[in-house]
Amino acid sequence: MKVLVVGSGGREHALCWAIDKSPLCDKLYCAPGNAGIAQVSERVYIAADDVDALVAFAKEQAIDFVVVGPEAPLVAGLVDKLNAANIKAFGPTADAAIIEGSKAFMKDLCAKYDIPTAEYERFDECDAAKEYITRKHAPIVVKADGLAAGKGVILCRNENEAYAAIDHIMIERTYGGAGDEVIIEEFMRGEEASFFALVDGKTALPLVSAQDHKAVHDGDEGPNTGGMGAYTPAPVITPELAATVMETIINPTIKAMAAEGRPYKGVLYAGLMITKDGPKLLEYNARFGDPECQPMVMRLKSDLLEVLLAAAEQRLDKVKLEWHKDAALVVVMAADGYPGRYEKGSEIKGLDKAAKMKNVVVFHAGTEADGARITANGGRVLGVTARAKSVAEAQKKAYEAVDAIDWPEGFCRRDIGWRAIKR
Question: Per the domain annotation, does 120 fall within a domain?
Answer: no
Q: CATH number for the domain including 86?
A: 3.40.50.20
Strand partners, 192: 273
| CA distances from residue 145 to 8, 70, 121, 176, 342 in whole angstroms, order as listed | 24, 18, 11, 11, 26
Determine the pLDDT at residue 300.
Answer: 98
Q: CATH number for the domain including 372?
A: 3.90.600.10
Average pLDDT over residues 384-404: 98
Question: Per the domain annotation, does 350 fall within a domain?
Answer: yes
Query: 164 φ, ψ to 5°?
Result: -65, -35
Residues 210 and 308 in one domain: yes
Residue 151 has pLDDT above 90, yes or no: no
Question: What total number of domains does the chain contain?
Answer: 4
Alpha carbon distance 320, 219 (integer Å): 37
Residues 348 and 413 in one domain: yes
Question: Per the domain annotation, does 140 fall within a domain?
Answer: yes
Q: CATH number for the domain including 270?
A: 3.30.470.20
Boundary (domain end) residue, out of 318, 346, 364 = 318
259 Cβ partners below 8 Å, 6+ apart? Answer: 113
Residues 290 and 338 in one domain: no
What are the pLDDT digits (tens) for 10-24?
999 999 999 999 999
Residues 142 and 164 in one domain: yes
Q: CATH number for the domain including 165?
A: 3.30.1490.20
- pTM beyond 0.85, yes or no: yes
Please name the residue ranges forming H helices in 48-88: 51-60, 71-75, 78-84
Residues 242 and 295 in one domain: yes
Report how far apart the first and last C-alpha atoms of the chain are (Å, whole number). 44
DSSP characters over 153-202: EEEESSHHHHHHHHIIIIIS-TTGGGGSSEEEEE---SEEEEEEEEEESS
**What is the average pLDDT score of the chain?**
95
Angle between helices 159-166 and 126-136 (to 10 degrees): 160
Residues 200 and 282 in one domain: yes
39 Cβ partners below 8 Å, 6+ apart? Answer: none
Determine the pLDDT at residue 177.
Answer: 87
Residues 346 and 389 in one domain: yes
Residues 255 and 312 in one domain: yes
Residues 169 and 57 in one domain: no
Residues 85 and 129 in one domain: no
Strand partners, 385: 330, 361
What are the pLDDT digits (tens) for 55-96?
999 999 999 999 999 999 999 999 999 999 999 999 999 999
3-state helix, strand, coil in the chain (%, to 5): 35, 30, 35
What are the pLDDT digits (tens) for 181-203?
999 999 999 998 899 999 999 99
Residues 314 and 195 in one domain: yes
Boundary (domain end) residue, out of 180, 202, 219 = 180
Residues 287 and 202 in one domain: yes
Question: Per the domain annotation, does 106 fall within a domain?
Answer: no
Identify the weakest region by mean pLDDT among 169-178, 383-392, 412-421: 169-178
281-284 contacts, C-beta under 8 A, 24 or more apart: 281/110, 281/115, 281/116, 281/117, 281/249, 282/117, 282/118, 282/188, 282/192, 283/100, 283/103, 283/106, 283/143, 283/153, 284/99, 284/100, 284/106, 284/253
Question: Per the domain annotation, does 116 fall within a domain?
Answer: no
Alpha carbon distance 351, 219 (integer Å): 27
Question: Per the domain annotation, does 102 fall within a domain?
Answer: no
Question: Per the domain annotation, does 77 fall within a domain?
Answer: yes
DSSP characters over 364-381: ESSEEEETTEEEE-SSEE
Boundary (domain end) residue, out of 262, 285, 318 = 318
Name which of 277, 416, 298, 284 is nearest 357 in CA terms. 298
Alpha carbon distance 21, 40 (integer Å): 9
In which domain, by residue range, is 400 found?
327-422
Question: Per the domain annotation, does 21 fall within a domain?
Answer: yes
Determine the pLDDT at residue 243.
Answer: 96
